[in-house]
Structure 1
Amino acid sequence: MKLLAGLALLLITAGHALGQNKPIRILMVGGGGSHDFARWYGQEDKKTIESTGKYSVTYTEQTDSIPAYLKQTDLLVLTNNQPINAQGQAAITKFVEKGHGLLLLHAAVWYNWEDWPAYNLNYVGGGSRSHETFQEFKDYVVNPAHPITQGVPAKFGFKDELYRHVPDPAAKGIEVLVIGQSIETDAVYPVVFTVKHRKAKIAGITLGHDEHSHQHEAYKKLLINAVNWVANE
């Protein structure tokens, strides 16, 4: 009997260990205009995130499939600017309001959906309607104590679209972690931030137009840190 009890305990312990080693399931939604979503998000960012060994990333541009995918998802990454139908909007809202993590990359912090104002108000805390000329600009870490900025140079730069990101005073607020400063105008905008939400962890990164960002070490570090933070890792 003692031997059987010991074997049972061993099997239970092994089962728990295997469960703990399962990768966190990420759904990344891309697609739309003005960017090569499949190349830089579906391939490059997926590779960067999965290089940690902690995550399994499913990339899709089929926004009609969002409700089905979210049933098998732990963390949602939105990068797209293409339409999301009412069912997809409702599924995302339900997912976030349950407290699941949300990471918004580049095009997803835009004012994309006039039929879904709650998205920008509640999940972006504002948004972008334009950007400065594609060029190199300087980024400055303004909150070096936050987990998302750990290991990121205090100052870095590469060619990208500097989004003219503006917080919405009607929203619950954002915490700015990194700012970008235009070389042409000296204007300063948030480029990495977290969004205040009652249950979910939400972060936004406005950087990410093409290879200049996605293959830059500072961007990759920010991406991994943001995924870890949103996932509570």
Structure 2
Amino acid sequence: MLKVLAVAMLAALTQTAPNPHLPKPTYDSVPPAVPAGIQRGVLIVSKTNAWRHLEHIPHSNEVIAGIAKDLKRPSFTTENAAVFDDAILKNFSVVVLNSASGDFMTAPQREALARFVARGGGIVALHAAGDNSHKAPWYFDTIIGATFTGHPNGPDHIQPASVLIDQPRHPVMAGVKLPWKPADEWYSFDVDPATRGMTILARIDEASYRPGDKLKMGAVHPVIWVNPRTKGRVVYSAMGHNPENYDDPNYRLILTNAIRWAAR
């Protein structure tokens, strides 16, 4: 009897244990203390109100901060979305949304970010910053322009795939060496973002991996693109699920190029 009770209690605890990949959504109202004197900085935000990429966020935040330092720009890393405030954003040239997922901004915070882009501020959005947990029309239209439909799972979750460059002369893709076949979690989308005004910089060769029938996009399976319709420069990369991706020389170069370009 005691053994049965112990098993039942363990099962109950297991069922109620929170999933660290799915934190309880929170909304921030008090902004973080940003160091004084930041000018033309890089703001790194990894706030997650949906799926949290526990595996890569700590390392990728460090890598991005290191890139900012190499570019001789100060950086500030936070998970507090109240940082999206006009008085704070004026100190930064570019915001990196590092797998920031879910509806993580309040309406006033989203409006402050929209004003930042409208006056020329840059956005570099990475991986889960483009998943389907983002519902706000401004965010969809400005940052992504397509709806995430899924990625391979099970044994095919992480696969190597060939990345093809459509715009080799674009500053974001400068210096990338081909052939390049990184292993990643490959996102699919409902449409080619180019049909909604985006410019595709790079895509995946679907013949080089197994997307699954429901996730096939065909000849144009985009992975990195920019929004040429905004005053601020906006870049999105669907890559970056694994911590190792941020140590890949080509991907680090793309991130460096993207931050430099977006920050003007």
TM-score range, shorter chain: 0.7 to 0.9
Q: CA deviation at 1:41?
A: 2.8
Provide the residue aligned with 1:226 in structure 2: 258
2-structure distance, mates of 1:110, 1:91: 22
* Residue in 1 that maps onto 2:130: 109
Pick the aligned partner of 1:214 from 246, 251, 255: 246
- Residue 169 (structure 1) shift: 7.2
**2:112 counterpart of 1:96:** no
Aligned equivalents of 1:199, 1:231: Cα separation in 2: 12
* Contact 1:31–1:38 (CA under 8 A) maintained in structure 2: no
Partner residue in 2 for 1:41:
60
Q: How does 1:56-135 map to 2 (within 5 A)?
A: 56-67=74-85, 69-79=88-98, 80-82=100-102, 83-114=104-135, 116-132=136-152, 133-135=157-159
Residue type matched to 2:250 in 1? A
Question: Which structure has more strand as a fraction of its residues?
Answer: 1
Deviates more, 1:127-136 or 1:192-201: 127-136
Q: Secondary structure at the match of 1:41?
A: helix
Q: Deviations over 1:75-113 (max 9, x none)?
A: 111120042111211111111111211111111122323
Matched, 1:193 2:225: yes
Unaligned runs of 5+ in 2: 1-37
CA contact (8 A) 1:141 1:153 kept: no
Q: C-alpha separation between the residues in 2 aligned to 1:155 and 1:49?
A: 27
TM-score, normalisation: structure 1:
0.80
Q: Of residues 147, 156, 181 in structure 1, which corresponds to 2:180?
A: 156
State the alpha-carbon separation in 1 of the partners of residues 195 and 113 from structure 2: 21
Greater shift in the superposed pair: 85-94 or 37-46: 37-46
Which of the numbers 39, 44, 53 marks the counterpart of 1:28? 44
Distance 1:130 1:223, change over 3 A: same
Of 213-222 and 123-132, the range deviating more from structure 2: 123-132
Provide the C-alpha distance between the structure 2 equivalents of 1:205 and 1:155, rounded to a whole number of angstroms: 18
Q: Is the 8 A contact 1:30 1:41 kept in 2?
A: no
Deviations along 1:132-183, whole A, 9 cap, x unmatched? 3222211111221111111101321222111113345773x11111111341
Structure 1 runs of 4+ aligned residues shifted over 3 Å read: 165-171, 185-188
**Greater alpha carbon shift after TM alignment, 62-71 vs 75-84:** 62-71
Looking at structure 2, the residues matched to 161 and 38 of structure 1 have their Cα atoms a distance apart, in angstroms, of 15
Paired residue for 1:147? Answer: 171
| Structure 1 residues 146 and 169, CA gap change in structure 2 (3 angstroms) | closer
Shift in Å at residue 120 of structure 1? Answer: 0.9
Distance across 2 between alignment mates of 1:127 and 1:46: 29
- Structure 1 residues 31-54: Cα deviation after superposition (integer angstroms, max 9, x where no partner): 3224135413321222133223x2
Question: Matched residue of 1:203: which SS?
Answer: strand
Listed as ranges, the gaps of 5+ residues in structure 1 are 1-21
Distance 1:152 1:23 in 2: 29
**For residues 98 and 39 of structure 1, what CA distance do their matches in structure 2 show?**
30
TM-score normalised to the size of structure 2?
A: 0.71
| Cα gap change, 1:65 to 1:101, in 2 (>3 Å) | closer
Note if contact 2:185-2:239 (Cα within 8 Å) is conserved in structure 1.
yes
Alpha-carbon shift at residue 25 of structure 1 (Å): 0.4
SS in 2 for 1:43: helix
Q: CA RMSD in A?
A: 2.2
